[in-house]
Structure 1
Amino acid sequence: MKSEEIKENAFFKKLNDFSELVMFKHSVFSLPFIFIAMLVASYLESGSGWFGWKLLFLGTLAAVSARNFAMGVNRYLDRDIDVLNPRTKNRPSVDGRVSTTQMVGFIFANALFFIVVAYFVNDLAFRLSVPILAVLGAYTLFKRFSALAHLILGISLGLAPIAGVVAVSGEITLWSVYLAIGVMFWVAGFDLLYSLQDMEFDKANNLHSIPSKFGAQNTMYIARVFHLMTVVFWFWFVSSAGLGVWAQTAVVFAAVMLGYEHYLVKKDFTKIDKAFFTVNGYLGFVFLLFIILEVM
């Protein structure tokens, strides 16, 4: 019995290590927007926002496995960088809690799982599955030679609403493109603010980021421009989809939350974590709530 308990404890410890490896709690940034796209697509097609239990299940599995793949690739390729950074040197990929062999297995398992799930969604989802994985894996490589890496990260999460509309409608609509571009600028904007923490480290290690290249004040200005574009594209999404007052309220709420995020960071750089996790986490879920009210 004692041996079984030790094995069980070891299993849950390893599970926790992998959860920390991919920072599973950060799924709050992409999950709401895949479901927003699915709700709106179903609503516009059938008059009902409910797209069925099957797509809810498959959509969740696809989103989680895609994100696990992307984070696994990031952690695997960034080992040489993370070990030098005081902020990241205790990650499971660096301190040995998750071995390189385990990471490679994790990456390939999630890639295969994502492709299989896409196969069961529809033909277009299956054909797009490998290109989507290629984009998701590109972020880590980009930051080694281009400051545009922030936008690549934004594109990676912006694929979530595209995947959502493909799952329900089997096509990519104009309104979903507006929603996706808004997500791209949203993610790129808050990634700029988050990257302020590593500005000096990036300079010292020849890593390409907007903060290391343009400085803190210019970075904050660029982030504000990105988030202004976020609001513009999300209003175009609402207009293009023909949605009403609840969806419009969602965009207004997002604008207020983004303004508060910039207020926090401008006032005190030590509030970056609060701005990054709390504000952006609430933004996605409240946006989803308003869309649910809209399609009801």
Structure 2
Amino acid sequence: MTDRSPGKLSLYLQLIRWNRPAGWLLLLWPTLSALWIAAHGFPGWQLLTVFTLGTFLMRSAGCCVNDVADRDFDRHVKRTAQRPVTSGALSSKEALAVGAVLALLAFGLVLTTNTVTVAWSFAALAVTLVYPFAKRYVSMPQAVLGVAFSFGIPMAFSAVQSRVPLLAWVLVLGNLFWVLAYDTEYAMVDRDDDLLIGMKTSAITLGRFDVIGVLSFYLVFLVIWAVALMDYVQPAIYSVAIAVAALQALWHGVLIRKRERGDCFKAFRLNHWLGFTVFAGVALSYLVA
């Protein structure tokens, strides 16, 4: 009888969510926006390559750590029960080894920038390692994820300017609310399972105010980024991008209003287009200028 079990490479690709690029694109678009703003336009191929590959590698490493930390919880959640570590197809040691290799590769990329960015990379790694465990103790762990998913912004500024100005932290604050929005949609998918196993999520904390909460998070994100960047971009182009992003956010509200798993997951997956829209507004502003 032919062995139809997946090979190691296939399992490693499943582990890092190779077939779900929306996850790392959510980190990429705000990072690239920050790069363009810090450089007042195209940042150059070297930094573009470093931050694009680095984003993919660190998100993949984060998946490895997350799956090991959540392996006992994930087996009780319909969506995650068949993940390689949870199902036993990969051991925790294997998953952590893969994560360590990916993190080291990402660090190698950071070493090509400057000492300020290298220093910030350690803080980014620390938050990445803390997040999986926040779901046990923090009522809205999505806020911790928001910090982890926003670290590309100060690192982009430091790579270009060798410093992290106040603008970068304002953008981090705004981006945190975007993460709260889309990861609450994600948490709405698993809410019933999470309630049974005692996991803490923003979807559970917000309760019946989850939909209005998500829309409020989108609004705060877009307002902060619109106001913070209006003096740095071409207003007409950027205003159109913000308006298109707002329409996408409203569409997400329509999708999640009935709180059905499939629609909530669809809303989550569509978020990378919202992030791309904001980035496009930034990039086109500098291109026209």
* Normalised TM-score (structure 1): 0.87
2:102 is matched with which residue: 110, 123, 126?
110
Structure 1 portions without partners, runs of 5+: 1-5, 44-48
Report the alpha carbon displacement of residue 237 of structure 1 after superposing the two structures with TM. Answer: 2.2
Structure-2-length-normalised TM-score:
0.89
1:58 Cα offset (Å): 1.3
Aligned to 1:191: 183
CA distance in 2, matches of 1:154, 1:243: 27
Q: State the match for 1:119 in structure 2.
A: 111
Q: Do the aligned residues in 2 keep the contact of 1:22 with 1:72 (CA within 8 Å)?
A: no
- Partner Cα distance (1:173, 1:28) in 2: 24
2:232 pairs with 1:241: yes
Q: CA deviation at 1:179?
A: 2.1
**Following TM superposition, by how much is the alpha carbon of 1:61 offset from its aligned partner in structure 2, in angstroms?**
2.4
Q: How far, CA to CA, are the matches of 1:203 and 1:14 in structure 2?
A: 29
Aligned mates of 1:106, 1:24 — CA distance in 2: 18
Question: What code does the residue aligned with 2:163 have?
Answer: E
Structure 1 counterpart of 2:152, from 147, 155, 160:
160
Cα separation, 1, equivalents of 2:161 and 2:222: 25
> Measured at CA, do residues 243 and 158 of structure 1 come closer, stay the same or move farther in structure 2, by a change above 3 Å?
farther
Does the residue aligned with 2:164 lie in a helix, a strand or coil?
coil
Deviation at 1:12, TM superposition (A): 4.8
**2:34 is aligned with 1:37:** yes
- RMSD between superposed Cα atoms in Å: 2.2
**1:32 and 1:284 in contact (8 A); partners too:** yes
**In 2, Cα distance between equivalents of 1:101 and 1:21:** 20
How far apart are residue 266 of structure 1 and its match?
A: 0.7
**Separation (CA, whole Å) in 2 of partners of 1:211 and 1:126:** 35
> 2:163 maps to which residue?
171
- Alpha-carbon separation, structure 2, partners of 1:104 and 1:147: 27
Worse-matched range after superposition: 9-18 or 243-252: 9-18
- Give the distance between the partners of 1:144 and 1:255, measured in 2 at CA: 33
Instruction: Find 1:252's aligned residue among 243, 246, 262.
Output: 243
Report which of the two has the higher share of helix. Answer: 1
Percent of counterpart pairs with the same letter? 23
Residue of structure 2 aligned with 1:201, choices 193, 218, 223 = 193
Gaps in structure 2 of 5+ consecutive residues: none
Contact 1:21–1:93 (8 Å) recurs in 2: no
Task: Specify which of 26, 30, 42 is matched with residue 50 of structure 1.
Answer: 42
| Deviation at residue 295 of structure 1 after TM alignment | 0.6
Check conservation: 1:17, 1:98, Cα contact below 8 A. no
Q: Do the aligned partners of 1:192 and 1:223 also contact (CA within 8 Å) in 2?
A: yes
Does 1:294 pair with 2:285? yes
